[in-house]
Structure 1
Amino acid sequence: MMIGRLFPTRRSHPLEPLDSIPASTPHRAARRWTLRAPSRVHFGLLSFGGESERRFGGVGVMIGDPGIECEWEEWDRFATAGEHAERAANAARAWSAFHASPLPRARVTVVRAPPEHVGLGVGTQLSLSIAAGLHRWRNEPIPPPGILARSVGRGLRSAVGVHGFLEGGLIAERGRAAGDDLSPLDCRLDLPESWRILLLRPIGVSGLSGEAEREAFRVMPAVSADVTGRLIDEARMRMIPAAARGDFDAFSAGVYAYGRTAGGCFAAVQGGPYNGERIARLVSTIRAMGISGVGQTSWGPTVFAWLPDPRTAELAAQELRASDPEGPLDIQVARVDNLGAAIDVGPSGAPCGSRTTCPRAARLIREHHPAAQADTLGPRPEP
């Protein structure tokens, strides 16, 4: 059973869904706007390999900074510029081929984006930003998430980043069944605005991607039904209920337990639940500081740690910057993004800093039913 928002989104400014803005409004005519998208932190997959009814699935959260920012403006042809410009161009070409539609006369400048292949889902978030931006440039509604993802070749395994692009917040998805365009969204929650996520990345290191990632999934043993069941139980019985009631300590404990179990499924490639000895030692160092909600996002190398408030997060960041003996770390304090992709427009169509949500939220959000909590992520698989 699907569970949607369990408490209202806390917003600091008025928002208007893009689908509610008529084509004649000024911001469409101005042809200059900025689309912002969050990054994705992935706690781990539920399953892969084997003969299970559903494959992949998982839980993750969207963060607002570092994120992706794309400026759109009129141009004499379609062009991309800035960070990851070639990836943006590839996404646009894929979208054009999928829809059998020419690209518009527009330039997309990727003003800001995290590095690729560090566990923050940059490929998916940037590709979806291009696809959503192309629909908005053509004054078209954003299609359902499965079509949006397929148009740029994303969501082939985990769908956390696809649903999170549109929704923000904490995302749980059950995995793809045969015939699914995209793994269904099971649960989407706002997290408290005060919570922070510390991101720690060894500089000069990257996670698996492309053919190396595909080969890893080919050689790793299948996740057993028992392990998938334990992951589902951890998510639906501890992590998600704790998030819903804003219980930071229980949520942090659940995130660590879930991530360590999920990471163990990758031991044949990683050498353990984390991607290498340095990452494992970094996780141990952070937990020795009394921080329990620690994990590796996706293949890493980025490690995340949950802190209850901004001050605690900054103090932890300062301590880690001063203490790591194994080489330089990029350390950032991130906020949860409960909004999802957004566009900056003003009353006259000029960018102004007010954010307008990308328009699938009304379709995806479900009303809360208290009895449904135990059914999040579907039934426990039979061993």
Structure 2
Amino acid sequence: MTTKVEVSTSGRLHMGFFDLHGGLGRKFGSIGLSLSEPNLVLDAKRSKSLDVSAAKAVPESVVARVAKVARQILTQMNIDDAVDINISEAVPEHSGLGSGTQMALATGAAISHLYQLNLTSMQIATITGRGKRSGVGISAFDYGGLLVDGGRDVVSTHASPPPMLARYDFPEEWAILLIFDSSEHGVHGEQEKIAFNELPVFPESLAAHLCRHVLMQAMPALIERDLLSFGQSIQVLQQHVGDYFAPIQGGRYASRLVSAVLERMESMCVPCFGQSSWGPTGFAIFENQLEAERHLLQLKTDFTEHALSWKICSPRNHGAKFSKYVITA
């Protein structure tokens, strides 16, 4: 008899950093949201050798990344045996939806369950090098919902991933529209490291301004279910952080097509919209599903480029799901 573990998690929105200055000893600090879709689903069982396979729709690059993470964890934890992993669904890579962190945490959690390692998500993130700037993806894996993290300690040379400061259920009735551009990839990997090293010092006064918007506008607006006020706070983040990153990503938004869609949304008075992380994926939030569908119908009429695609989804107000099965060897 063999135990098989299935882990199901999903993508997240990274809505913006609110302290890129770091003068108080912590840098970045971010706000984000766990999504119901797109999903990452994988199952794993013990094996004598490492084997990673996937459904036809899952790219080979995802298979390779999951295999790399599995090797890291098995080596770090001194496990002589291995795992047999199958990936049935995957979050699009380099799209700004946090696919790398979810892959690392799902793979690590599966191995931890199989070998009774009792690893926390923070420990898995540290082993695999995730959460170096934002802790939103880690908290999304653990808890879901709307998440605010406290940035990374820039004084310590052995700092842990950013701690979660606040977590709220996101209104289930609010619908989220995702805008994809298949012709672009967000900044990632070595390019991302170089980008942060080359950017000028972020103004301290502007960091204070953004922190105030998160603490005194976004967070209370969410509790009061005031989408207009919440959206205004997110727009302030998007404008200032997007303009700061513009020399690296070619403008406030990484994709020319997504940028045009977001500009159109502004003219349509959509209350909350922006780019997730480095993009190219854009997002917009509406009061309900009907409003999202109505706006999407108009956007599809206005934008017919083949590279654009769309998805309406919901918030995910819970963390990753785990299922265990006993199968016949």
The amino acid across from 2:64 in the alignment is E
2:29 maps to a residue whose letter is: G
Query: What is aligned with 2:66?
Result: 88
Of the three residues 36, 39, 42, the one matched with 1:67 is: 39
Residue matched to 2:94: 117
- Specify which of 194, 213, 234 is matched with residue 173 of structure 2: 194
Answer yes or no: is the 8 Å Cα contact 2:43–2:110 preserved in 1: no
Which amino acid is the alignment partner of residue 150 of structure 1? Answer: T
Matches for 1:148-163 after TM superposition, within 5 Å: 148-163=124-139
Residue 265 of structure 2, aligned match among 249, 274, 286: 286
Which position in structure 1 is the counterpart of 2:293? 314
State the match for 1:210 in structure 2: 189
Find the residue that maps to 1:36 and give its secondary structure: strand
Aligned to 2:224: 245
Amino acid at match of 1:90: K
RMSD of aligned residue pairs (Cα, Å): 2.0
- Equivalent in the alignment of 2:253: 274
Distance (whole Å) between structure 2 residues aligned to residue 44 and residue 194 of structure 1: 23
Task: Choose from 209, 215, 235 the match for 2:214.
Answer: 235
Distance 1:74 1:243 in 2: 43
Give the % identical residues: 27
**Contact 2:66–2:104, Cα closer than 8 Å, also in 1:** yes
- Aligned-partner SS, 1:102: coil
Match of 1:226 in 2: 205
Check the 8 A contact 1:37/1:69 in 2, yes or no. yes
CA contact (8 A) 1:163 1:185 kept: yes
Structure 2 counterpart SS, 1:337 = coil
Query: How many Å separate the matches in 1 of 2:92 and 2:26?
Result: 31
- Mean CA deviation greater in 255-264 or 153-162: 255-264
Query: In the alignment, is the contact (CA less than 8 A) between 1:47 and 1:222 conserved in 2?
Result: no
Instruction: Tell me the TM-score normalised to structure 1 length.
Output: 0.78
Report the 3-state secondary structure (helix = DSSP H, G, I; strand = E; otherwise coil) of the residue aligned with 1:236.
helix
* Structure 1 residue 281 displacement after superposition: 2.2
Report the equivalent of 1:329.
308
Match of 1:22 in 2: none
d(CA) in 2 for partners of 1:316, 1:344: 37
Aligned amino acid, residue 51 of structure 2: A
1:159 deviates by: 1.1
Match of 2:277 among 279, 298, 305: 298
Q: Read off the aligned partner of 2:205 and give its amino acid letter.
A: D
The 3 A distance-change label for structure 1 pair 100 and 76 is closer
Residue 181 in structure 1 maps to residue 153 in structure 2: no
The 2-side partners of 1:278 and 1:329 are apart by 7
**Deviation string for 1:46-73 (max 9, x for gaps)?**
2346654111211111102112111224
Q: Structure 1 residue 87: deviation in Å?
A: 0.5
Q: What does residue 144 of structure 2 align with?
A: 168
Q: Is contact 2:27–2:152 with CA below 8 Å preserved after alignment? A: yes
Q: Tell me how far apart the structure 2 counterparts of residues 276 and 61 of structure 1 sit (CA, whole Å).
A: 21
1:38 alignment counterpart: 10
**128, 133, 144: which is aligned to 2:105?**
128
AA in 2 matched with 1:88: V
Query: Aligned letter for 2:253?
Result: Y
Gaps of 5+ in 2: none
Alpha-carbon offset, residue 98 of structure 1: 2.5
Taking the aligned partners of 2:102 and 2:80, their CA distance within structure 1 comes to 22
Q: TM-score, structure 2 length as denominator? A: 0.90
- Structure 1, gaps ≥5 residues long: 1-28, 351-383
Q: How far off its partner does 1:239 sit?
A: 0.6
- The count of residues paired between Structure 1 and Structure 2 equals 318
Cα distance, 1:193 vs structure 2: 1.0
